[in-house]
A and B are shown apart, each in its own frame.
Chain A
Amino acid sequence: MNKTLSLSIFALFLSVFLISCIKDTDFDQAENIALTPIVELDLIYFNIQANQFFDSINSNPILTVRDTTEIRFLDDTGLQESLKRAEFYFKFTNSIPRSFQVDFQFLSETNDTTYVAGTSVAEGAPATPVITEFIENVEGESIVEITKANKVVVSVTIPSSDENLEGTLNLKSKTTYFLEY
């Protein structure tokens, strides 16, 4: 075998590397890659006893009870950018013979109200609790507002109350987060 032949083999081999390429692919598609997970997560829950609406020491009705919790994950920058829609689901089980107005007030770190939602809860009876379901769908501009909040104030208002009132107002709730990265 002469030198010319062996060099040509060598050249052929090198050309394999030179012609190697990437075909029929479109890397611009990377722009369109989107993770769109849908996450189900518990939110808050409570059991309010009927006697919490009456101050037995001073014999006065308490028409509104309030509680507040931080929900610091909500104004996280990552969530602000990726949350497209949030669907809040509240399920009340009421065995108190009164209807209720329940309000959810979302507050920012500086205590500015960014979003409010509320519903009335149907009157129940100690023996036959009544279920009220409430869905609050948040999307579009409202998402921007609600993700500025990092706490929520829950207010439960009863039209009237007395010391003999019995029963429990139960809440279970969850949120479905529609994300897009």
Chain B
Amino acid sequence: MRNFLTITLSLWGFIAVSQNKQILYGFDAVPQSLMLNPGSEVTHKKHYGIPFLSQIHVNGGSTGVSVFDIFKEGNDNINDRITQQIFEMKNTDFFTATQQLELINFGWRAKNEIYFSGGIYQEFDFISYFPRDLAILAWEGNRDYMDYEFDLGELSTTGDFMTVYHFGINKQITDKLTVGARLKLYSSMFSYRSVNNSGTFVTTLGDEDSANIYEHTIKNADVSVETSGYASLRELDGASQVTSKILGRAFFGGNLGVGVDVGFTYRLSEAWTLSASAQDVGAIFHSKDVESYSAKGNYTLNGINLIFPPLNQGDSTFPYYDDLEDEIEREIPIDTLHNSYTQFRPVKLNAALSFGFGRFNASGDCDCLNMDGGTQHKQEVGLQFYSIFRPKGPQMAGTFFYHRRVTDYLSAKATYTVDSYSFSNVGLGVSADIGKVNFYIAADNLIKYNNLAKAKSVSLQLGFNIIIDEE
């Protein structure tokens, strides 16, 4: 238990942020910006991601607490700090972790001026809301909480591990408008979710007429966990077997799903540009290796009622304990179901309004990068909006950005983001072309990099591509 806690606490704030890639969005020097908006303007002719290195993305966050809050040096007791944090946090606080790894990414401009792109990436996504009441119950017990109704519905968590195959098209339709769409096939390797739970647990002091000292009551319980890809793992022995089984599902071996990304970029005027995209509008259909557990009902526990039956030598009394267990199982049955279920992907929305100034010419006077008449600006400032749909409603973020094309081989983007985690998130991304090799790195919460422990979220993307520009 202690080890589990240590690991959990250590991971808070380290693994991943809420999938917001605010730096990469609209950062057109990086081919992966096309993954965030399939309708972004593409300036190059071809790109190939270097396999397994084209995008490494990790992102972790916690809205209520940072590692520093728990592990800071000091004379006060760590347990007092945890107690304080548990009580300060709300049941809408959450922990998230996201990780993505691109296996393949490629794109090319066809003769009809459509830019095709496709690839495969693997994604892990986890979110858990803070089950405050259950944390209090585990941390303090029920002694000081007589008559307090612990809310079982605060339990809300999902986790997914999948491979995504995608293919997209992008075309500049008019001088002003570029649109794009991307079709995605999901192959889910492992998935679980426990959402929309309800019910309460309360301990009340009984009165004269009560059967026993207390009444422990579970009221209107409706708690469920849906899993897919889990049941078959239980039988396996050891981590290596589990790993090979899961990876075996990566290539269409898992539960399949389908989704789309759509987006556009529209030049409102010479200086102003509007863009928006929706990602992962789709669902995964879990039908193979599905196992769900559901517990529903009401029960009041009074303890064990001894009858003192008259017994002859050798007779045994009633199986009180077994009867009690049977009674609980009868009142709050735990059903194991194998029903297929559909899981909607968390839809992500991005939008940006930018103002550009300073005409950017990569080499001399000719506007070589933009044969079709569009203009790239040397500098852009603007606002971005990001939203992801989560079990308890959307999580949103607003970003102010400054994007600068320094030279034809170097561009940079700086962001200031306000989100659920903090009001002081400054990020920076750099994309450099060394020959045909493009390297980019983007990270946020830079202010906290002098002490990562204080950061409530960390997001990092980096990768290598080969980019072939228009001749």
Contact = CB atoms under 8 A, between A and B. Distances in A.
Partners in one complex: yes
A24 B72 contact: yes
A42 B320 CA distance: 14
Interface string B397-409: 0000000001101
Interface string B73-111: 100011100100000000000000000000000000000
Interface in A148-181: 154, 156, 172-174, 176-177, 179, 181
Nearest to A45: B212
Interface string A19-46: 1111111110110111111111111111
A171 to B, nearest CB: 8
Interface stretch (B154-162, B284-292, B365-373, B444-452): B444-452
Interface in B195-238: 203, 206, 210-214, 216
Interface in A64-110: 65-72, 82, 89, 91
Interface in B415-459: 428, 430, 432, 441, 443, 446, 449-453
B139 A172 contact: no
Contacts of A156: 308
A70 B320 contact: yes
Interface string B46-80: 00000000000000000000011001110001110
Which among B68, B212, B216, B450 has the highest number of chain A CB atoms within 10 Å? B212
Interface in B1-29: 1-2, 5-6, 9-10
Contacts of A10: 410, 430, 432
B306 A154 contact: yes
Which among A20, A52, A156 has the highest number of chain B CB atoms within 10 Å? A20
Given A10-B432, A13-B441, A32-B77, A38 B308 contact: no
Interface in B267-313: 301-311
User: Would you call the interface of chain B mostly helix, strand, loop, or mixed?
Assistant: mixed
B141 A39 contact: yes
Nearest to B211: A45
Nearest to A42: B303
Given A46-B308, A48-B308, A68-B317, A25 B406 contact: no
B141 to A, nearest CB: 3
Contacts of B68: 24-25
A17 B458 CA distance: 12
Contact of B430 (A9, A24, A42, A43): A9
B395 interface: no
A42 B449 contact: no
A42 B302 contact: yes
A41 B428 CA distance: 55
Nearest to B316: A68
Given A23-B450, A30-B71, A72-B321, A37 B301 contact: no
Contacts of B73: 24-26
A82 B137 CA distance: 16
B142 interface: yes
Given A13-B430, A38-B144, 16 more contacts: A1-B406, A10-B430, A21-B451, A25-B67, A30-B9, A34-B79, A35-B5, A36-B79, A41-B216, A41-B303, A42-B214, A43-B303, A44-B304, A45-B305, A68-B316, A174-B303
29 contacts: A6-B409, A6-B410, A9-B410, A10-B432, A13-B412, A16-B446, A17-B443, A23-B453, A25-B71, A25-B73, A29-B71, A30-B6, A30-B9, A30-B10, A35-B1, A36-B140, A37-B139, A37-B140, A38-B141, A38-B144, A40-B142, A41-B214, A42-B303, A45-B212, A45-B302, A67-B317, A82-B1, A156-B308, A174-B303
